[in-house]
A and B are shown apart, each in its own frame.
Chain A
Amino acid sequence: MSDEPLIDRLAHELTPVSRRTALGDALVIGGIGLVELLLFLVLGGTRPDMPEAMGHAGFWWKLVSLGSIALTSCAVALLSLDPVRSPRRGLRLVLALVLLCLAAGWPIGAVLDGWPSLLNRLDWRSGVQCVFKMVLLSIPPVLGLGVLVQRGAPTDRNGTAWIAGLAAASWGAFVFVFACPIDDPLYIAVWYLVGCGAVSLLTRLALPLLTRW
């Protein structure tokens, strides 16, 4: 079969394109994240005891941990939109970073003294609320990353979906840190993992279907 008619058609339809760059995508998703954070702070989403909380190691631990996970996973996700780059190594790096953050939180306050105390510290009612809010705050970055994935050319759709979900989830959790009144590392480790895991899983399931190319 001759491909000449197709080549002619494609050449005839050719229009100049603006090149996709990781830096350009980073500016787009960074802008979305920054606008979300500013709106959240301006609209009064912060916890009432913020000045006091800033003196606690637990507050800074979750802020730095989630911020570093969000930035790293977002960078990996954007790089994986290049067809020659796989996100698999980046995923392993982010997983190691998550474990490192959890390990760093342990000496800050995870001192267990029996099951009743453990259940009190987990506080499932607050935990469910936190998960719900984290999922809501993850929606803007998920949508932004979804558009960028659609425009890019990821050749490992599932890996890119995982890392994009993780990036959006950790950004949503990072923003929520300013509102969450609980700094207990055990509570953070459990409920933030549940929230981030749910967003990552949903993104992993939906994004490959929506961004097929």
Chain B
Amino acid sequence: MRQVDLVPDTRANSSPDWGALMAAAQGGDASAYRRLLGQIQPWLRRYYARRLPPSMVDDAVQDLMLVVHEKRHTYDPARPFEPWLAAIARYKWIDRLRAMKAAPTHTLDEDIAVADHEASVTSAYMLEKLLDLLKPPQALVIRLVKLQGFSIEEAASRSGQTASLVKVNIHRGLSRLGALVRSRSDVG
């Protein structure tokens, strides 16, 4: 196993005495504790980033900070803090690997259950075919008003027809569509 990062290298930090901070935290010094957690967090992030999938790193870091909090009474200030932290981080890492093994991921089935859109697609296709059989001004205003939801006035300005002509074309077009549907058992 690589030795890199097995034990935090506190020489790289501006405030290296994590042991003293933890000793103060054991006595109830909240500001020392806040500093300690803030300083160990980047190391923990690097530690887990090298050992876990990226999606699990945040959870692992937060979990470890909770464990450090819960087990802080087991740290002996007479001994270095870094091996204590590294041992706990390694333990939780192995625990996480065991959990991953116990809950294996499943490959997605090719036949994913999704809603069947066949009827909608068929209806849209048939409607388009029927609209193609109408006169273009009738088909245009039916698309604008009945399918796209524009008002009569908006459809009139977009189609260049008067409002009353839009109403007439819609009425005639729908009547023609009804007649087409009744007369043909299969369109297209």
Contacts from A to B (Cβ < 8 Å): 1, 3, 6-8, 10-21, 81-84, 151-153, 155, 213
Contacts and interface: CB of A to CB of B under 8 A. Distances in A.
Given A81-B74, A155-B88, A17 B58 contact: no
A207 to B, nearest CB: 16
B76 A19 contact: yes
Given A83-B88, A83-B91, A7 B71 contact: no
B66 interface: yes
A10 B67 contact: no
A19 B33 contact: no
Contacts, number: 76
B86 to A, nearest CB: 8
B97 interface: no
B30 interface: yes
B90 interface: yes
Contacts of A21: 76
B133 interface: no
Nearest to A15: B28
Contacts of B27: 16
Given A19-B76, A21-B76, A7 B38 contact: yes
A3 B41 CA distance: 8
Contact of B88 (A7, A16, A17, A153): A153
A213 B68 CA distance: 11
Nearest to B23: A19
A1 B77 CA distance: 31
Given A7-B34, A12-B30, A84-B84, A20 B73 contact: yes
19 contacts: A1-B62, A6-B65, A6-B66, A8-B34, A10-B66, A11-B31, A11-B33, A11-B34, A12-B30, A14-B33, A16-B27, A17-B72, A17-B73, A19-B76, A83-B88, A84-B79, A84-B84, A155-B90, A213-B70
A119 to B, nearest CB: 46
A21 B77 CA distance: 11
Nearest to B29: A14
Given A3-B65, A7-B41, 10 more contacts: A3-B62, A10-B65, A11-B33, A11-B34, A16-B27, A17-B72, A19-B75, A20-B74, A82-B76, A155-B90
A83 B33 contact: no
B188 to A, nearest CB: 55
Contacts of A84: 79, 83-84, 87
B115 to A, nearest CB: 34
B61 to A, nearest CB: 6
B62 to A, nearest CB: 6
Contacts of B83: 84
B156 interface: no
Contacts of B84: 83-84
A13 B41 CA distance: 18
Contacts of B66: 6, 10
A21 B73 CA distance: 9
A12 B79 CA distance: 26
A213 to B, nearest CB: 7
Contacts of B71: 83, 153, 213
A11 B28 contact: no
